[in-house]
Amino acid sequence: MTMLEIIEKKKLHGELSREEIHFFAQAAAEKSVPDYQLAALLMAIRLNGMTDRETTDLTLEMRDSGDVADLSAIPGIKVDKHSTGGVGDTTTLVLTPLAAACGVPVAKISGRGLGHTGGTLDKLESIPGMKVAMSTDQFIRQVNEIGLVVAAQSGYLAPADKTLYALRDVTSTVDSLPLIISSIMSKKLASGVDAIVLDVKTGSGAIMHTLEDSKALAEGMVRVGRLAGKPMVALVTDMSQPLGTHVGNALEVKEAIDLLAGRAGGDLLEVSLGIGGWMLKLAGITETAEEGEARMREAIASGAGLQKLKDMIAAQGGNPAVCDDVKLLPQAAVIRTSVCGKAGYVQKMDTEALGLASQAMGAGRETMEDQLDYSVGYVLKVRLGDKVEADTPLVELHAKNEADAARAEAAIKAAIRIGPEPAEKPPLFYAIITE
């Protein structure tokens, strides 16, 4: 068997065998064939697709190309959540403490932000002293002691995906459904959890901009999860505007703390509770997702969710006092408010452009080597469908200097359309896809 034979077969619409897919995944993990041959096969897959069986085989072979975490030392059903990414998406920091407070053992591996989407690890590292790197033994010990850990990947998980992900970015094959599914699911399955809740975004700030494509991605991942023996649920949620009102690392931590403290509500809370309700159901804590949501609301009211976040911050070397005084989080040098400038209705947002505006302020990266400014970002004061006047506050800017604030203000105003016709508020949930 050679790589050229596999490329030729897929080029001619053939269905690859498990052995051929194993050869491909191992070649990617070990870099034993030239990048141009891997790229050729990626393009053949992008053009000709894969069957469900091929996609599942690729997912499992990518999972098995490196380490597979063993979380059997943690009692109970370990449930993870994964989001396909967006702007102001701070659900992990809201729902994982609530789920843990309700009895779900949460052992979560998260990532960093790149481009217009934020990363959970970057948000956590805005907390003074907070550490996200730990050994597997430390990871398991913390879950057993406090029921919750959110940390960086340790070990050698899905190395085939690392190679293929980088090649997809430079070969225009990022939008291949089988490749997206196998990339996400191989890492999730390698993380060792027992069940997974997926949050698949749709809209201008999502990887999939149309509802049809987002549903197809969600359904594909649920099918692969089922074939791999993992209980899964996927929720298709809105990303036609930032999910939370706060965009930027320390600002998003502040919003999560405000929600857990019961001082705030809104779309971020409702989506977090929707995802968390399914986590509790898959963990066997409640009979239904609705009961799970109710339990999580009780954890907010009692303070148990906020206490669980404090416990995690303390366990990972951070200062838990930020949960009592959010001003202990990094503060920007320039904080000022900009108004809408015209009357009308908020009709549309270019959410990707809003994410890039935050990135340009220093809250995000263009390359993984870029250094972040944890204090910068902004707080949006309007939502889609809102009626506004010329003097209605539009955005509170948190910048390192006035020049950055002015550039961000211009970018944000350009990304938000205000017009004379009323606009409907988009739904938060479009679909729930189960096995």
pLDDT tens digits, residue range 214-266? 999 999 999 999 888 899 999 999 999 999 999 999 999 999 999 999 999 99
Confidence of residue 115 (pLDDT cuts 50, 70, 90): low
- Per residue in 118-158, pLDDT (tens digit) is 789 999 999 999 999 998 889 999 999 999 999 987 768 88
pTM: 0.91
Q: What tokens does 7 get?
A: 């490329």
Q: How close are the terminal C-alpha atoms of the chain, in Å?
A: 36
Task: Determine whether 53 is an active site residue.
Answer: no
Confidence of residue 43 (pLDDT cuts 50, 70, 90): very high
Catalytic residue selected from 126, 183, 186, 358: 183
Mean pLDDT of the chain: 94
Check if the beta carbon of residue 134 is closer than 8 Å to that of residue 154.
yes
pLDDT at 209: 86
Catalytic residue selected from 46, 81, 108, 187: 187
Q: Is the dihedral of CA 279, 284, 288, 290 positive or negative?
A: negative
CATH class of domain segment(s) 79-325: alpha beta
Q: What is the mean pLDDT of residues 8-23?
A: 97
Q: What is the mean pLDDT of residues 347-372?
A: 88
Q: What tokens does 384 get?
A: 């889609």
Check if the beta carbon of residue 174 is closer than 8 Å to that of residue 168.
yes
What gap in Å lies between CA 337 and CA 324, rounded to an integer?
A: 25
Share of residues in the chain with pLDDT > 70 (%): 98
Report whether pLDDT(368) > 70.
Answer: no
Kind and range of the H or E element at 232?
strand 232-238
User: How many CB atoms within 10 Å of residue 94?
Assistant: 28
Q: What is the CA radius of gyration of the chain?
A: 22
Report whether pLDDT(353) > 90.
Answer: yes
Catalytic residue selected from 57, 64, 89, 161: 161
At residue 358, what is the residue type?
S
- 172 against 117, higher pLDDT: 172
Nearest to 182 by CA among 79, 86, 45: 45
pLDDT at 109: 86
What gap in Å lies between CA 145 and CA 282, rounded to an integer?
A: 22
Task: Determine whether 141 is an active site residue.
Answer: no
- Per residue in 161-171, pLDDT (tens digit) is 989 988 987 88
Task: Determine whether 168 is an active site residue.
Answer: yes
Catalytic residue selected from 82, 188, 201, 310: 82
CATH number corresponding to 330-419: 3.90.1170.30
Task: Determine whether 383 is an active site residue.
Answer: no
Q: Is 430 helix (H, G, I), strand (E, B) or coil?
A: strand
Q: Which residues pair with 235 in a beta bridge?
A: 199, 432
Check if the beta carbon of residue 249 is closer than 8 Å to that of residue 365.
no
Task: Determine whether 400 is an active site residue.
Answer: no
pLDDT at 114: 61
pLDDT at 156: 80
Would you list the domain boundaries of the chain? Answer: 3-49, 79-325, 330-419
CA angle 22, 23, 27 (to 5 degrees): 115
Q: What is the mean pLDDT of residues 18-33?
A: 96
Report whether pLDDT(191) > 90.
Answer: no
